[in-house]
Amino acid sequence: MRDEIVKKYEQYLKAELNLADSTVEIYTGEVELFSRFTEKLNKSIIEADTIDIENYLIGRKQGIIRAEELSTDYSVSVSDASDANDKEVLKSSTINKYTSSIRSFFRFLQLEDLREDNPARFVQTSRREKKLPDFLDIDDIDLLLGSINTKTPAGLRDRALFELIYSCGLRISEACTLKCGNIFSNDSVIKITGKGNKSRIVPEGDAAEYWIKKYMSEARPLMLKKRKNDFVFLNNRGTGISRKGVWKRFKELSSSCGIESRVHTLRHSFATHLLTGGADLRSVQELLGHADISTTQIYTHLTRDDLHAYHRKYHPEGKAAGGNA
């Protein structure tokens, strides 16, 4: 019964809400974990109440309940929420995503007439801390990309992959799901399928175009191993590379260069370098595939130092104002 409900919920997320595969994976995985939690309470997931949900989320936040295995030590009371921050393991944004997953599931149960109310409706989400995006300067980007050994098929793939992510500002999932038919070399553009299956066209960039062509002609046929696969970037088994595979490879590369960074930082760097170079916010929004320009505006603060420098250099009162500050 449990597995059947989760499968129907998965179909609902895909067919009715048209969510990206990565989001569907997170939502269904969290509901499955919550279902195992309620089983330990001798309840079915349909019978769960608000207190059960709050206890579960507190356990997730404090690391008592993990995705790898459901700990038997789940006896967390709502009163423990007062000191949850002292034991916090997961970020508030991550817990909010898990809360949304469960809230969406009970909304689905209501639509299926399996539940009259939504016990997750009044579960409060954590206030998200405003963290500024990390980015690498151009010298670090050059160091990182230049350190890749392109004498091996995997090395050529890595160079093409990370050049493309940086040159086009791609999400990791967008790079992993890029297909050969969506590279238009004659026009130097690629077609990206982003969140919500929304498509956008982005310029490829000279460096990315060079390494993509080299990878496609020299390395990809060797990695394909006579298989048939439409994905551009392959793993050593000749199938599409996974997000975890990309994360792992980037971590190895950045560590070898002495750079503490995540692969998503390449996307942040793309946006930051464009804005610093004078690109307008609306254009950067389109290139990143942001539905709301307010999401793109988080990058504008990163250019404030440059704006102050320009003001001091070119405005008649700039130096005077700076000197009196």
Task: Indicate which residues carry an active-site annotation.
Answer: 171, 195, 264, 267, 290, 299
Under 8 Å between Cβ of 123 and 103: yes
What are the tokens at 320?
A: 């005077």
150-173 per-residue burial string, b: 16 or more CB within 10 A, e: under 16: beebbebbbbbbbbbbbbbbbbbb
What is the identity of the amino acid at 265? T
Nearest-angstrom CA–CA distance, 179 and 71: 40
Specify whether the CB–CB gap between 232 and 174 falls below 8 A: no
Give every CB contact of residue 179 below 8 A, 6+ residues apart in sequence: 230, 231, 232
| Single-letter amino acid code for the residue at 291 | A
Q: Where are the alpha helices (DSSP H) in 16-152?
A: 21-40, 50-61, 92-111, 138-146
Q: Using the 8-state DSSP alphabet, how is residue 59 labeled?
A: H
